Homo-oligomer: A and B are copies of this chain.
Amino acid sequence: MPATKKKLEDRAAVIKALGHPSRLLIAESLMKGEMCVCDLKDLVGADMSTVSKHLTLMREAGVLNCEKRGLNIYYSLACDCLGDFLRCVDRLACGGKKTTCC
């Protein structure tokens, strides 16, 4: 059966959660291990509130988990399949743009 509208939207939300340069950078960095918001703020170089909103969006899409320890909140990837995911993205990105059709 064709995916329901809701299912399509949920999947699109997952993908959208990774389809932004800052969020992609965050995801790539988290492949090496969890990080707290202030570390990610330094990494991304944006306002902490902006980073926090990116993280919330990614968490709500199901891409990230988080855990509070002491004063910090540590974010981590929800799934280790992101490696393959990003490898595929790289292959496609390297394919280069086809600017015209025929």
Oligomer: number of copies? 2
**B73–A81 contact, CB under 8 A?**
no
Which chain B residues border A90 with CB–CB below 8 Å? 11
Give the residue name and chain of the B residue nearest to A63 (CB): B92
A89 near B11: Cβ-Cβ < 8 Å: yes
* Shortest distance from the beta carbon of A67 to any chain B beta carbon, whole Å: 7
Q: Which of B12, B18, B59, B84 contacts A101 (CB 8 A)?
A: B59
Interface size class of A (residues with CB under 8 A): 35 or more
CB distance from A80 to the nearest CB of B (A): 9
Q: In the assembled complex, which residues on chain B have CB atoms less than 8 Å from the CB atom of A9?
A: 21
Closest 7 CB pairs of A and B: A15-B19, A16-B19, A81-B88, A68-B102, A8-B21, A62-B95, A19-B19
- Interface residue ranges, A against B (CB under 8 Å): 2-3, 5, 7-16, 18-21, 23-25, 28, 59-63, 65-68, 73, 78-79, 81-82, 84-99, 101-102
